[in-house]
Amino acid sequence: MNKKIELQDLGLKDYKETWDYQEELFQNTLDIKIKNRREGSLLPTPNHFLFVEHPHVYTLGKSGDMANLLVDEKVLDEKGAKFYKINRGGDITYHGPGQIVGYPILDLDNFFTDIHKYLRFLEEMVILTLAEYGLKAERSKGETGVWLDVGTPFARKICAMGVRASRWVTMHGFALNVNADLGYFDLMIPCGIKGKAVTSLNVELGQKEISMDEVKEKLLKHFSDLFEAEIIKQKTEV
């Protein structure tokens, strides 16, 4: 089993370009797995982890409801935002500057073949990271992602998640609000869940800006511990 994970930080990059790149890495891993099965070979499958920030964009998962986007295309244009229907699970979400988006493209055969456990590990990575900033983050029953003040009228979401998997290979991932412009969340019903607020790390800490690089390092530490993986930083080539 290959427990090495190649990390790339793509910086600020268009959503569609990043999605295409994810698909390329995802398909390459699937092709290796199919070849191994057909030919009885044992070629190792790669694992990738992409960090990225996206320009303003709304994405709707395959089980999502268009009614959860509260504005039309004209308003999106005025806001400088794009919209895509995509092939992950979940409903609608927003990505934008000040948000750390992570896309693990893993062959879970290298780790464990359990999607539920995979999602819980991604949540735990974020929960442990936020604990380092003095925040008590939690899961909310039946609602994938990471929340604050669960079970109270002040419940608010700080990290959204949505993944796709085929033959135990994953893509898409999580979006953690660090220095996010929360006004963009007003244009939708986040994840299709009415009556729940959204927050950002800088707002919770009462600071103008939090170091994105610092948060990424904390996320990677907890990710590698949970998955018992070795993170290998690669030069960005896309």
Give residue-wise pLDDT tens across range 54-72.
Answer: 999 999 888 788 888 898 8
Q: Which domain holds residue 11?
A: 4-233
Residue 21, pLDDT > 60, answer yes
pLDDT at 238: 47
The CATH number assigned to the domain holding 34 equals 3.30.930.10
Q: Does 166 map to a domain?
A: yes
| DSSP letters spanning 60-76 | E-TT--GGGB-S-HHHH
- Tell me the pLDDT band of 237, cut-offs 50, 70 and 90: low
Q: Which of 57, 81, 191, 219 is catalytic?
A: 191
Distance CA 66, CA 72 (A): 10
Q: Does 238 map to a domain?
A: no
Q: Does 60 map to a domain?
A: yes
Q: Is 61 annotated as a binding residue?
A: no
Radius of gyration of the chain (CA): 18
- Tell me the pLDDT band of 93, cut-offs 50, 70 and 90: confident
3-state secondary structure 110-149: HCCCCHHHHHHHHHHHHHHHHHCCCCCEEEECCEEEEEEC
Looking at the structure of the chain, the number of domains it has is 1
Known catalytic residue: 159? no
DSSP 157: E
Residue 208, pLDDT > 90, answer yes
pLDDT at 88: 83
Q: Is 102 annotated as a binding residue?
A: no
| DSSP letters spanning 191-233 | GG-TT-EE--HHHHHT-S---HHHHHHHHHHHHHHHHT-EEEE
Q: Does 153 map to a domain?
A: yes
Q: Is 173 annotated as a binding residue?
A: yes
pTM of the entire structure?
A: 0.93
pLDDT in tens, 141-197: 888 899 999 999 999 999 999 899 999 999 999 999 999 999 999 888 765 566 678
Distance CA 51, CA 103 (A): 7
Q: Is 181 annotated as a binding residue?
A: no
